[in-house]
Structure 1
């Protein structure tokens, strides 16, 4: 399997408010930057969208190291929250409907095509690619 490194980030002015997402995919010597935005969204939606859009670009099953500063997304996979959500009809431990269900379902579908290792990075702490994704996300956010 090809090994790909992905960095992702989401940004939002207000929550909800205008927001953007950014991702950087690295394969060997090739680096690809992608981004997008929405007029009314949330930070969590942008974080999930960044990972979804990056994984959608992979044309075959890959080993992926996905770096994000989103505890929301990383903890879901590290702690396997999604197993309970699926088993319980997309209801969380507080007996509430899981927020962003459709995005989570799409992200899970994509993750099941690849071997994804989820890696938490500290946001705004000098990690070059995390900072670059933040720049992409902010630039893509509608003003």
Structure 2
């Protein structure tokens, strides 16, 4: 059994953003984070989940994901994302990340639990710290290429 805590942040939304992840299993504890020069909060919330799931090496692992993102939790728990697949994600944002999510999600036995953000939940607060700190590391910010391409297409139209 692995517990994954996640959070995402974006300053300006869109703007510089980051994600934070905590993985915990028994005595094992690991923190992960990363930042992007231009992205959105929802993308970072979803990417945090993807990174957490992708870091699990053993397929079929029981995983509980704790997230303060209603966007992510409701999309999976209410099975909206599976309907979006059937429509080819027509008029839905973040298709690239949802496709990545579905690839790693199906490898494990995953359940989601929504937790209220900024409510003194220690792991959620730590994930927020990781995400915000990653978003401020100007020298190491990655490019969220799918987002920037899509954003540039819409501004050219």
On whether the aligned pair clears a TM of 0.5, the verdict is: yes
**2:103 equivalent in structure 1:** 109
Structure 2: give runs of 5+ residues left out of the alignment: 139-157
For residue 22 of structure 1, report the CA deviation from its aligned partner. Answer: 0.2
Structure 1: give runs of 5+ residues left out of the alignment: none
What TM-score do you get using the length of structure 1 for normalisation? 0.93
Q: What is the DSSP-based 3-state SS (H/G/I as helix, E as strand, rest coil) of the residue aligned with 2:66?
A: strand
For residue 88 of structure 1, report the CA deviation from its aligned partner. Answer: 1.2
**1:76 equivalent in structure 2:** 75
Is the counterpart of residue 135 in structure 1 residue 148 in structure 2? Answer: no
More strand per residue: 1
For residue 17 of structure 1, report the CA deviation from its aligned partner. Answer: 0.2
Q: What is the DSSP-based 3-state SS (H/G/I as helix, E as strand, rest coil) of the residue aligned with 2:102?
A: helix
Is the counterpart of residue 118 in structure 1 residue 99 in structure 2? Answer: no
**1:89 equivalent in structure 2:** 88
State the Cα RMSD in Å: 0.8
Post-superposition CA distance 1:82-108 (Å, at most 9, x none): 1211111212xxxx2x10001001101
What TM-score do you get using the length of structure 2 for normalisation? 0.84
**1:11 equivalent in structure 2:** 9
For residue 80 of structure 1, report the CA deviation from its aligned partner. Answer: 0.3
**2:32 equivalent in structure 1:** 34
Q: What is the DSSP-based 3-state SS (H/G/I as helix, E as strand, rest coil) of the residue aligned with 2:57?
A: coil
For residue 13 of structure 1, report the CA deviation from its aligned partner. Answer: 0.5
> Structure 1: how far apart are the matches of 2:13 and 2:89?
23
Post-superposition CA distance 1:38-59 (Å, at most 9, x none): 0100001111111111111110
Is the counterpart of residue 66 in structure 1 residue 60 in structure 2? Answer: no
